[in-house]
Amino acid sequence: MNDRARRREAKTLKQELPYPYNQDLSQVLRNLNRRTPFGRRRQANDPVTAAYLFAAAQLIQRHLGPGASRSPADPEDPDAIERPLLSFLSQRAVAAEVDHNPPPFHRVGRVSTMRERWRHQSGFVADVLRFGLWAWHYPGAHQDEAADAREEAIGGPDPVRGIHRLCYWDVTRLLRTPMFRLGLVAAAQAEGDALVREAVSVRHQTNAPHWKRFYQEFLQAHGLRLRPGISLDECVDLLAAVADGLAVRALADPQARVVDHAQRRSLLGTAAVALIVGCAVPEGQADATPLEQMVRDMAGKAPAARTA
């Protein structure tokens, strides 16, 4: 088989892969061992490369959850379990996992093949983080799931119900996403590691514009604007941080009253409603009091004098 035929076969196999492995990953995988942009783009979209990413994703779910498998460190102590961070993504472990890939993924894993693509293990881990956080957190892939709730929040008869539905969807999506758990591990290791820090940052940079657009549409649809002293970008950051924090709370303590599955509500919905009440005013209101001044007025306190 000549090179042209091999490229044509690889393109066909790529198209047969499930989402998100069938997407163009040339802007996601940045540490591949190729000198030219053409070479990196070609290797990023090689089905063999996708096979190693899939194997890594399987290991992440197996070790981090949902439904994580814990290995006992001491057979006589049920609380003594191995708690690996990212050691389970070693080259040998990933190559061995490739052998268990389902079709149509490539199913012959070798450490040497991995090293052809990623010269350094740190580069592979960084690309797995970038891929995972991009693929599983990118709202564009999940818009259909939340479309009805978004429409109810913007134009439905009960916008509060729509907000609660949308926030419930967002928190439960985080909880059932293995890559959210990977992101927590990555965040803990981001300090002093530029590759990991950049991978974590990209998740927020990708998500923020989508949520910002929704907030803008919500305010416009209901004739609202923000109070002085707070921006739409700050609202996006606030609710994103609350969503992550509540999901962490629910993961660490399943008994925490973060999510009400019976009512399909969450504390994120309560936070979103509170943010709207505190930070938004009718568009036609001429003199909107800044947020901090509102608190001073309610508390009956004047701002403390500044010292030189």
Mean pLDDT of 196-217: 80
Q: What is the pLDDT of residues 240-251, one digit of tens each?
A: 999 999 999 998
CA separation for the pair 96, 111 (Å, rounded): 9
Element (H, E) at 85: none
* Residues 6+ away with beta carbon under 8 Å from 138: 20, 206, 207
Predicted pLDDT at 272: 96
Judged against a pLDDT cut of 50, whether residue 264 lies above it is answered with yes
How many other CB atoms are found less than 10 A from the CB of residue 59?
20
For the chain, give every domain's residue range: 3-70+80-131, 138-284
Alpha helix stretches (DSSP H) within the chain:
3-16, 37-44, 47-64, 91-98, 111-117, 121-137, 143-155, 159-175, 178-189, 194-221, 232-252, 267-279, 291-299
pTM of the model as a whole: 0.66
Question: Which residue is listed with tokens 């814990």?
Answer: 70
CA separation for the pair 17, 220 (Å, rounded): 40
Mean pLDDT of 211-224: 94
Q: Are 207 and 139 in contact (CB under 8 A)?
A: yes
Q: Please list the residues that pair with 225 across neighbouring strands.
A: 281
Q: Are 68 and 79 in contact (CB under 8 A)?
A: no
Determine what percent of the chain is predicted with pLDDT higher than 90. 36
Q: Among 5-19, 207-221, 223-237, which is the least confidently predicted range?
A: 5-19
Q: Among 14-28, 56-70, 98-112, 267-281, which is the least confidently predicted range?
A: 56-70
Predicted pLDDT at 81: 47
CA separation for the pair 238, 231 (Å, rounded): 11
Predicted pLDDT at 278: 92
Question: Which residue is listed with tokens 């901090």?
Answer: 292
Mean pLDDT of 225-236: 93
Predicted pLDDT at 80: 47
What class, spelled out in words, does domain 138-284 have in CATH?
mainly alpha
Q: What is the pLDDT of residues 37-53, one digit of tens each?
A: 888 888 888 889 999 89
Which backbone phi and psi does 281 adopt, to 5 degrees? -135, 160
Q: What is the pLDDT of residues 74-131, one digit of tens each?
A: 566 554 445 456 777 889 999 999 999 999 999 999 999 999 988 877 778 778 877 8
How many other CB atoms are found less than 10 A from the CB of residue 116?
15
Mean pLDDT of 191-209: 71
